[in-house]
Structure 1
């Protein structure tokens, strides 16, 4: 009797990145029939690193380097890679330490009192007053107040159907729909009214659940975000797998 070794057509790998403090993501599935070039294209959606400037390394569960994926035409299945290994994406065009040039706390700032600024005739405030624009337009202020009241009404209605730990889809104007899990519902210190904290399935967020030094929930960096309740729909929204991404 002949025996055959049957192996899966998919690899289950952890993904990490050299930028954005991404750390290790949830386990992802990749087809062994993918070329390295196609693999980089998929990883661009996950890590935000442009495929053209991406280098790939594979590490064992013991965090030892297994191989480099340098041949873009080679198939993923042609490398000695096993499930649960870590696929590390490196942005070779941006190897500087994150935040190295982002600290502006020591930068000298120009400051002016509100009274002095109000007397200037060449300022933005003087221009708005002259044109009766923005907050200096009574009709615009009434319209903005009505809009705010309507948004608050919609948010109050939406909040009744939003529960912590519910699966959800976030649909914001002019943005692609994003899926995740509700992790927080309530008031915040950074903005008035009720907000919904969402842990996204992909690194589409802006934080890790902490804003302004206050922790509202906990998740990986770049996976957390806060949105108005009216943009959140709770229901049966399973995570998008690789097949779903290909079809979008």
Structure 2
């Protein structure tokens, strides 16, 4: 039986089988990344990544280096089952590709850090790092900040929605199921952007008006496509969210990749 932490983590981000439902595009493989020094908390909820199957192990290590910071020469890569316990194989031939190793969606790639200088451990000790600070007043005076960009996008969406309402009693929603999109927040202090795919567009039983249901790329949502017992679309737990059309920006947004 797993620890209380593992049970809680499984509940929050979903089990390995849930993550497996988020299939990688053709020619790629979706893997969970873990590290012998970095904890799951440090890696965050986005430790599922897509990789091209034609990557050699050497190239694969370079990709992982950008994510975890361990130099490729100090890496030992172990492929494990979704339970992160059962070892399948070591990737010890740097010229072989992931496809030649027959790597499949949903497996766990565990990085063993052999750095004799314990570089990653030193990086995790933030007590010695001087923190950069900036007051809200100083930040608000700066031009081209992410906050101002979000405010401009929300203002633009609001103006568009108001203009449409003025000309017709039923605003037209042009967002379609299958559209790639970016989801923003109504909270002016929340600047996080979530990417996903539109999975539902229409009215709902939980609230009046038109709603957009989105299957997110990462487990940053609140549901599995159902609300209060009513199902509107299918997705893994924590990968679904419902937002107003004004909070959705449609565009050619590729799924996050290292």
TM-score by length of 2: 0.46
Larger CA Rg, structure 1 vs 2 = 1
Using CA pairs under 8 Å that are at least 6 residues apart, name the structure with larger relative contact order, 1 or 2: 2
TM-score by length of 1: 0.47
